[in-house]
Amino acid sequence: MPEGPEIRRAADALADAVQGRVAEQVWFGLPGLKCHEMQLSGRQIKGVETRGKAMLTRFDGGLNIYSHNQLYGRWLIMPAGQRPETNRQLRLAIDNSEHSALLYSASDIMVLNDAELLQHPFLRKLGPDPLQDKLSVKQIEARLSLPQFRRRQLGALLTDQSFIAGIGNYLRCEILFVAGLAPNITMLICGSAQLKRLAEVIDRLIWQSYKTAGITNELKRTEKMMAEGATFEQARFHLFRRAGLPCYVCGTIIVKIKMNSQPTYLCPQCQGVLANAQTSIR
Ligand SMILES: [Zn+2]
């Protein structure tokens, strides 16, 4: 599933095409949304915001299109009136005089006014989105210290969207590796140096992934690997999807465990994995 940085980049591309312009025609593919076409067509789009993995296209008059891409949703920006050849189902089209912004395959789309937005069950539960809300390292540190979060295992906490919105599985694994922390420990047993370090790494990797279209590895290492023939997918991570391969830092073999039903990659050496995590390594 795309994570916060990928959604933010899609939101940037959408904003370039539609922000500040009149949406001359808004079209929905889902029958239940057809009633909103007239309501939105002809209105100016004020902005495109992200809430973690969800996106809000904000129209004047206090109306918004909420969309969540889940696994398959994808935005495509085309010159006005053009449609690509694709088997995907078009779910939303926003046309202005220069661009067509097309959302394919997403099924989680709603039209909500500003008041309804505040009541939306998913949005209400979300924590802050670092890329949208410009969260500081200090603020992340403060969240990590809140009673409801400091007792949680880090591997589960990081992908809990009520903690910080937008962290998915690859960011979780990469953040814990860079911070040198095992996924099964809690903030309760961490000292203030570890707390500071984790907050700093959360901030840094989310922004780096956003700016580089998904690289969480050391940038110099990725650059060198790609110059030597590695693909982007092979070079972008420290350890995500690298089970059985040696850690770049210490040479220990990367292992994959299951945590919260998600594959979790770790370096037992660099992350000082506790015994009970090692027993569940498969
Ligand atoms: Zn290592």
- Which CATH number fits the domain that encloses residue 89? 3.20.190.10
* Domain boundary residue, one of 78, 93, 125: 125
Higher pLDDT, 260 or 178: 178
pLDDT of residue 246: 98
Same domain membership, residue 185 and residue 246: yes
- Helix-helix angle 4-18:192-212, to 10 degrees: 40
Give the Cα-Cα-Cα angle 250, 252, 255 (nearest 5 degrees).
130
Average pLDDT of the residues in 218-230: 98
Say if residue 179 is in the same domain as residue 93: no
Going along the chain, which residue ranges are E strands?
Answer: 22-23, 25-28, 43-51, 54-59, 63-68, 74-79, 90-95, 99-104, 108-113, 255-259, 262-266
The pLDDT of residue 274: 55
Question: How far apart are the CA of 177 and the centre of ligand 1, in A?
Answer: 8
> Are 116 and 144 contained in the same domain?
no
Residues 267 and 134 in one domain: yes
Closest by CA to 55, choosing from 126, 160, 137, is 126
Q: Is 280 helix (H, G, I), strand (E, B) or coil?
A: coil
**Tally of structural domains, the chain:** 2
Say how many Å lie between the CA of residue 178 and the centre of ligand 1.
10
pLDDT of residue 61: 96
pLDDT at 81: 93
Query: 125: CA distance to ligand 1 center in Å?
Result: 35
Domain limits at 43? 4-125
Domain termination residue (choose one: 125, 152, 178): 125
- Distance from the Cα of residue 128 to its chain's centroid: 12
Q: Ligand 1 centroid vs 137 CA: distance in angstroms?
A: 25
Strand residue runs (E) in 80-200: 90-95, 99-104, 108-113
Residues 187, 59 share a domain: no
pLDDT band at 273 (very low <50, low <70, confident <90, very high): confident
For residue 160, report the distance from its CA to the centre of ligand 1, in Å: 26
Q: Are residues 173 and 251 in the same domain?
A: yes
Q: What does the pLDDT look like over 110-168, one tens digit per residue? A: 999 999 998 998 899 999 999 988 899 999 999 999 999 999 999 999 999 999 999 99
Query: Both 203 and 81 in a single domain?
Result: no
270 Cα to the center of ligand 1, angstroms: 4
With DSSP H G I counted as helix, E B as strand and the rest as coil, what are the percentages for the chain, rounded to 5?
A: 40, 25, 40
My answer on whether 44 and 146 are in the same domain is no
> Token pair for residue 96?
């202005």
**Separation in Å, CA 181 to CA 132, 134, 245, 281:** 26, 25, 19, 16
The answer to whether residue 279 scores a pLDDT higher than 50 is no
Pair 149, 196 in one domain? yes
Q: Judge if 166 and 118 occupy the same domain.
A: no
- Ligand 1 centre distance from Cα of residue 171 (Å): 17
Q: Are 163 and 260 in the same domain?
A: yes
User: So what's the pLDDT on residue 252?
Assistant: 97
Q: Provide the pLDDT for residue 269.
A: 96
Residue after which a domain boundary falls, among 98, 125, 152: 125
Mean pLDDT of 50-79: 93
Distance from the alpha carbon of residue 203 to the mean position of ligand 1, in angstroms = 22
**Same domain, yes or no, for 188 and 260?**
yes
3-state secondary structure of 202: helix
In this predicted model, what pLDDT tens digit does every residue of 79-110 receive, in sequence order?
999 999 999 999 999 999 999 999 999 989 99
Report how far ligand 1's centroid is from the alpha carbon of 242 (Å).
12
Give the Å distance between the CA of 248 and the centre of ligand 1: 7
Q: How far is the CA of 251 from the centre of ligand 1 (A)?
A: 6
The CATH number covering residue 233 comes to 1.10.8.50
